[in-house]
Structure 1
Amino acid sequence: MPRLEMKPSARLAFYAIIVVVGIAAVAALASIFIAGEARTVLHGIAIFGTATGMFLGLVFAFVGESRR
């Protein structure tokens, strides 16, 4: 499998996105235990996941276009 080569700034943005999504996932899991009402929290996770997916799609589209 070929190794993905990125510019340092793109690599930093990629790692930053991974860290932010990881922290948000941990915070969402913690809020499930605190809130008690899991349905509301799960709806929030679903909305956040959709927004994150759209954002990552835009980021990867711009990174892909900048590599041409």
Structure 2
Amino acid sequence: MNGFEEYFAMGGDGRFIWSAYAVAALVLIGLAVASVWSYRARRSEFNVLQELDGGTPRSDDGNP
């Protein structure tokens, strides 16, 4: 068990290293969520514009 504690402590710098990993993970998750929200909003707007133009809107799953 002491080996794991030493590994996670990383010579006393573990709190800085692991907090940097946590911040990076949160940023990446935030970017992924923002991308999905943006895609859904743009897809919805596209479908509305296509309906106004008289076309057949595509489904939200990407298939025509």
**TM class, shorter-chain normalised?**
0.5 to 0.7
Specify which structure has the higher proportion of helix.
1
Q: Which of 10, 21, 26 is 1:11 aligned to?
A: 26
User: What's the % identity of the aligned pairs?
Assistant: 5
- 5+ unaligned residues in a row in structure 1: which ranges? 1-5, 49-68
The higher-RCO structure (CA 8 Å, 6+ apart) is 1
State the superposition RMSD in angstroms.
2.0
Specify every segment of 5 or more residues in structure 2 that has no aligned partner in the other structure, as ranges: 1-20
Structure 1 length-normalised TM: 0.50
Moved over 4 A (4+): none
* Length, aligned pairs only: 39
Secondary structure in structure 2 of the residue aligned to 1:26 = helix
Structure number, greater radius of gyration: 2
TM-score (norm 2): 0.53
